[in-house]
Amino acid sequence: MPNANEDNPSALSQVQRRAVSELLRVSPVADDLARRFQEAGFALALVGGSVRDALLGRLGNDLDFTTDARPEDVLKIVRPWADSVWEVGIAFGTVGCQKAGYQIEVTTYRSEAYDRTSRKPEVSYGDSIEQDLVRRDFTVNAMAVALPEKEFIDPHGGLDDLAARVLRTPGTPEESFSDDPLRMMRAARFAAQLDFEVAPEVVAAMKSMSERIEIVSAERVRDELNKLILSVNPRKGLRLLVDSGLAGHVLPELPALRLESDEHHRHKDVYEHSLTVLEQAVDLERDGPDLVLRLAALLHDIGKPRTRRFEQDGRVSFHHHEVVGAKMTKKRMTALKYSNDMIKDVSTLVELHLRFHGYGTGEWTDSAVRRYVRDAGPQLERLHKLTRSDCTTRNKRKASALSRAYDGLEERIAQLQEQEELDSIRPDLDGNQIMKVLGTGPGPEIGKAYKFLLELRLENGPMGYDAAVAALKEWWATQS
């Protein structure tokens, strides 16, 4: 390890102790692999995020290595040794494998840069670890530990930046972001994940080069955005995306919220409100980060700019912004190549996020509660969390009243669920029974009859077989 920074020796000595502890933990696997590379005539070093996380005391079971061996040589070395091997990233010089519970990636020294008209990086292999480290995104990710001798390699002052909790690039940020524009989004993601500050010159380059992000594939942008949103402090990263202009290219609906006044909270705009709702949704998570909930919280009000109206009494209204917002959510998530299931889940939550406010003073009928549960479907628990998160008023009395009202709604739902199995609401007669009663075969009429009985079920609760048959026959007579 290098000598401690004179300005902050205690911080560096602390991270060095953490690193020693973490490296000792992974040594049996890492050293064994390194010896195999050494015997084959190649070098191996733990690198990048693995070294950074070791220094932070948070190294997990994902280990990243770099080597001068070409991918075909790496495969020859790891195949007899690993529990399993995959070649998904081999076109980019990366071989993946699993050993003793560790997920390992070994990447050949490389240099990659974008052609200005291409969405994919051009990979060329390097000959030295120094050449490899200089092309890394940030100095805190440009450190390595050569194995098995455990020589610490830090040509760009990454350890000092780690102690100072600052993100800088090994070369100029303009060169780094020209090589791979996605690194601009990574700056925001690491700021959110690690609670680091981004160096002023890096922020300046992000602002001047933000349009370069458009040459990056939607899938890579989406994956980076997901990591940011799932981080410990997504608000910090999202602010940087907006302030740098990047959000204007990848998620333009977010900066569009900054100029809109929220009708319930005139002291702050919808942009700030949405970031607060996201934070409050995070606080309600119980089983780890929930991407669907977080996306819904962030996007729930994106329909407001398009629906803003200034009323005669001076109020600002956003009628049906939840419906417009759901459509905008589908369009943006489709452009970012999210799965159809995730698009459906998030847009459903956006569309339903205001439904509770119809409950208001607790006057919902059983029928309205059934419809609320039916429309939410499998997103009901998330809808509970989103609705509670959407209360950002500083008026404690109003906040308490809203919380009590929602408590009441959840109690009503629980009572009806116990009585009526709300989670699987369906008519009292199934399709076969409907056809038997009506004396007809499959066709559009059966679908209409099913829908009629479902509406009765939602309105009245369980009817029983005889009552349902009577109602169906009466309805069928009017259809004839």
Q: Is the pLDDT of residue 290 over 50?
A: yes
- The predicted structure's pLDDT at residue 121: 58
Q: Is the pLDDT of residue 268 over 60?
A: no
Calculate mean pLDDT across residues 118-129: 72
Query: Cβ(425)–Cβ(458) under 8 Å?
Result: yes
Residue 55's nearest CA partner among 238, 228, 202, 196 is 196
Fill in the DSSP letter of residue 181. Answer: T
Note whether residue 93 is domain-resident: yes
Note whether residue 256 is domain-resident: no
Calculate mean pLDDT across residues 214-230: 96
What's the pTM value of the predicted model, to 2 decimals? Answer: 0.80
271 and 332 within one domain? yes
Calculate mean pLDDT across residues 104-112: 87
- Per the prediction, the chain carries an average pLDDT of 86
Note whether residue 257 is domain-resident: no
Q: Which of 163, 188, 219 marks a domain boundary?
A: 163
Note whether residue 378 is domain-resident: yes
Type of residue at 93? G
Q: Which of 424, 446, 471 marks a domain boundary?
A: 424
288 and 182 within one domain? no
- The predicted structure's pLDDT at residue 419: 61
For the chain, what percent of residues have pLDDT higher than 70? Answer: 88
- The predicted structure's pLDDT at residue 13: 63
pLDDT digits (tens, 9 = 90+) for 253-267: 999 998 644 444 443
Q: Is the pLDDT of residue 2 over 50?
A: no
pLDDT digits (tens, 9 = 90+) for 6-63: 455 555 566 666 676 777 778 889 999 999 999 999 999 999 999 999 888 888 899 9
Question: Is residue 119 classed as helix, strand or coil in its secondary structure?
Answer: coil
440 and 349 within one domain? no
Q: Which residue has the higher pLDDT, 124 or 97?
A: 97
Which residues span the domain enclosing 247?
165-251
- The predicted structure's pLDDT at residue 1: 41
- Whether omega before 200 lies within 30 degrees of 0, making that bond cis, reads no
- The predicted structure's pLDDT at residue 37: 97
pLDDT digits (tens, 9 = 90+) for 291-341: 999 999 999 999 998 888 877 777 777 888 999 999 999 999 999 999 999
Q: Which residue has the higher pLDDT, 433 or 3?
A: 433
Domain count, the chain: 4
Q: Which of 224, 251, 278 marks a domain boundary?
A: 251
- The predicted structure's pLDDT at residue 402: 79
Note whether residue 448 is domain-resident: yes
Q: Which residue has the higher pLDDT, 277 or 14?
A: 277
Number of C-beta neighbours around residue 460 at 10 A: 15
281 and 374 within one domain? yes
Give me 364's structure tokens.
């919902």
- The predicted structure's pLDDT at residue 478: 85
| Distance in angstroms between the alpha carbons of the first and the last residue of the chain | 88
Calculate mean pLDDT across residues 126-151: 91
Query: Cβ(234)–Cβ(278) under 8 Å?
Result: yes
439 and 329 within one domain? no
Note whether residue 437 is domain-resident: yes
- The predicted structure's pLDDT at residue 366: 79
pLDDT digits (tens, 9 = 90+) for 366-378: 778 888 888 888 8
340 and 247 within one domain? no
156 and 18 within one domain? yes
- Whether omega before 255 lies within 30 degrees of 0, making that bond cis, reads no
Confidence of residue 231 (pLDDT cuts 50, 70, 90): very high
- The predicted structure's pLDDT at residue 440: 82
- The predicted structure's pLDDT at residue 116: 54
148 and 56 within one domain? yes
276 and 416 within one domain? yes
143 and 65 within one domain? yes
User: Residue 152 maps to which CATH number?
Assistant: 3.30.460.10
Q: Helices 380-389 and 396-420 meet at what angle, rounded to 10?
A: 170
User: Residue 211 maps to which CATH number?
Assistant: 1.10.110.30
Note whether residue 388 is domain-resident: yes
- The predicted structure's pLDDT at residue 464: 79
333 and 243 within one domain? no
Calculate mean pLDDT across residues 377-399: 87
197 and 182 within one domain? yes
Note whether residue 4 is domain-resident: no
Place of tokens 């209204």: 317
- The predicted structure's pLDDT at residue 436: 82
Q: Is the pLDDT of residue 383 over 70?
A: yes
